[in-house]
Amino acid sequence: MSLSGSSWLKFGLFTVGLGQSFVFVLVPPLARDLGLTEIQTSSIFAISAVAWALTSAFWGRASDKYGRRNIAILGLLGYGISLIALITPLFLAERNLLNLSFLFPALVLGRLINGLVGSATRPASFAYVADTTSKEKRTVKFARLESSFLLGTVAGPLIGGFLFLITNETPFYVFSLCALIAAIGIYKNLDSSKSTDIKSEISSKIKWNSKSILPFLFFAAVLSLCQSSLLQSIGFYITDFFGDLENLPTLISMTFGLLSMSTIFSQYIFTDAFPLKNYYLLLIGTILLVFSYFTMAFFPTISIYYLSVIVLGVGFGMTRPALSSSLSLAQTPENQGSAAGYLGSVIPIGHMTTPFIAMPIYAINPSYLYYFSSFLCIGLILFIISNPTIKKTKDYE
């Protein structure tokens, strides 16, 4: 029995998660060993994130006009190509076949492909789910999409670590092949028609600064900075604080695994098994983030660090699907693609700003970065309580 179109979309996001987590695990230490600084390494992801932010809204509108299927496929193909383009310069530099002066621009170019084209998959996928599900089921359906991606981030370091034993490049080629398989599956099983009753000339009228969109974009931008600064500093933090321990790559991979698994568990518990309203998911999840970042900064021991990462995952598991669902529920049907695109455009803001905001703070003192994230989340709590649009999420459901 063949998989449904939505199942292939989930598999597509799963394959994106595979490469996304493994890239963050492998590329920073490899780049550092080859002479790149922490700021240069994070800039590789930041430049790609700028491209993602500039193109995501465009791809959301394009999915209204050209169909969710076609745009999702295009994004997967771009993502697959970017994996090969990213590992090739590292492969050549390790074997002295590429001058190290060209390594940084080559890595930027490879990752840039993901930002320009790979950004198409997410808004098209979420808009498709918004088109085909009722309001009552939207939070849980969005959570399952998020879980598919996060399951990929869990499996990425595990599968990638095994494939890494063959060659450094093998995981990237395998994950790229998975993206191609997902694209073929979507092509064969997803309806190629445009979204139901969508007219591009209508959907193009909605603006990012609309009252029904801007508060969610602000929340997503701050949350993105908190999450991205954590992801980009994990490898450096464990190396700097726990460098005397053995198998540091394994410890780094375990961190990503714990974060992703706790996020998936949280999404299942609080959106499926014992669902909460989106407003309370946002509020309680952000409170957990405050607690986690503070304990991570104040107690720099490996056991507390892992415990904090688990609680962080629970917090992210509550806030991320609630944010996507709340934004979707606040829109009319003809604006789903544009809204998903706008959200996709601010999610990379964290990766864009981390080299200029987070990493300089980390360079002063790693603990200061997590104190900073804790204070940002306190600000989000006040925003949730005071903003009228956020408070209306209780009524959307």
Q: pLDDT (tens digit, 9 = 90+) per residue, 290-309?
A: 999 999 888 878 888 899 99
Burial of 158 (0-12, 13-18, 19+ CB in 10 A): middle
- Domain limits, the chain: 5-194+207-396
Q: Which of 47-56, 121-130, 141-150 has the lowest mean pLDDT?
A: 141-150
What's the confidence (pLDDT) of residue 201?
A: 46
Under the banding of pLDDT at 50, 70 and 90, the label for residue 1 is very low
Specify whether the CB–CB gap between 226 and 289 falls below 8 A. Answer: yes
CA–CA dist 342, 91 (Å, integer): 36
What's the confidence (pLDDT) of residue 203?
A: 43
Q: Which of 14-18, 131-135, 197-201 has the lowest mean pLDDT?
A: 197-201
Q: How many CB atoms lie within 10 A of CB 307?
A: 16
What's the confidence (pLDDT) of residue 376?
A: 96
In percent, how much of the chain has pLDDT > 70?
94
Is 50 exceeded by the pLDDT of residue 386?
Answer: yes
What's the confidence (pLDDT) of residue 81?
A: 94
Is 60 exceeded by the pLDDT of residue 194?
Answer: no
CA–CA dist 146, 126 (Å, integer): 10
Under the banding of pLDDT at 50, 70 and 90, the label for residue 183 is very high
What's the confidence (pLDDT) of residue 210?
A: 80
Name residues whose C-beta falls within 8 Å of residue 312's C-beta, 6 or more positions apart in sequence.
Answer: 230, 259, 262, 288, 289, 292, 293, 296
Could you say which architecture CATH assigns to the domain 5-194+207-396? Answer: Up-down Bundle (1.20)
What's the confidence (pLDDT) of residue 345?
A: 82
Mean pLDDT of all residues in the chain? Answer: 83
What's the confidence (pLDDT) of residue 100?
A: 78
Is 60 exceeded by the pLDDT of residue 379?
Answer: yes
Alpha carbon separation from 193 to 7, 117, 128, 153, 189 (Å, rounded): 18, 21, 11, 31, 12
Calculate mean pLDDT across residues 136-161: 78
**pTM for this prediction:** 0.74
Under the banding of pLDDT at 50, 70 and 90, the label for residue 212 is confident
CA–CA dist 323, 390 (Å, integer): 9
Q: How many CB atoms lie within 10 A of CB 28?
A: 24
What's the confidence (pLDDT) of residue 197?
A: 44
